[in-house]
Amino acid sequence: MFHKEGLNIILSTFVITAILIIALDYFEVKNALPIKIFLIIMLGLVLQFFRNPKITVNKNENHILSAVDGKVVIIEEVFEPEFFKEKKLQVSVFMSPLNVHVTRYPMSGDIIFSKYHPGAYLVAWHPKSSTKNERTTIVLKNKVFGEILYRQIAGAIARRIVNYAKVGDLAEQGKDAGFIKFGSRVDFFLPIGTKLNVKLNQKVKGGITVIATKD
């Protein structure tokens, strides 16, 4: 199963690959086999990047779930300058091109803020990527955790962030909230004192891994 955001790219890549392989045979190009293998590998990489496997969401109103697949690369208290304008607990998850890049709502609640920012394309693990790169900022609010912010950040390869969150809508935990194409990061900004359930360098799964809990 593939994500809808990748269907056009998948179709284009398949058609181009097929045309090039047919052309190699038609013109009887010497040593064409390595080229064909390369083309097929590239098609395979595109297919795996846009995969959207079915999951069983670990729904729980007392949990904040990871919004994406990846690895936890930052856990620290920082000043969040865009929405809260105060210190928050930041948890960042880096996604490699091999990860599933679907973004899922980390908790259920009201969408009270959603904003797109054009920007640069620093590598996603760069300290300034959270405020300098192309990104979207979304804030959810519910009675259990109050307000939490998550930010989709484009990486050095990513060139388009898709965000489905609209102010006034109701987010459902684990549901599809967007997509980041070709490498990226997601930052979570949680209330200071939030009980975390993850550690640095831990691998996480979107809609499944519990990032934080409420006693």
Give the catalytic positions in this structure: 184
Q: What letters, b where the CB count within 10 A reaches 16 and e where it falls short, cover 140-175? A: bebeebebbbbbbbbbbebeebbbbbeeeeebebbe
Q: Which amino acid is at 129?
A: S
Interatomic CA distance for residues 95 and 45, integer angstroms: 15
Return the bridge partners of 77, or none: 89
**By three-state DSSP, how is residue 84 classified?**
coil
Helix (H) or strand (E) holding 183: none
Which of 52, 62, 66 has its CA nearest to residue 203?
66
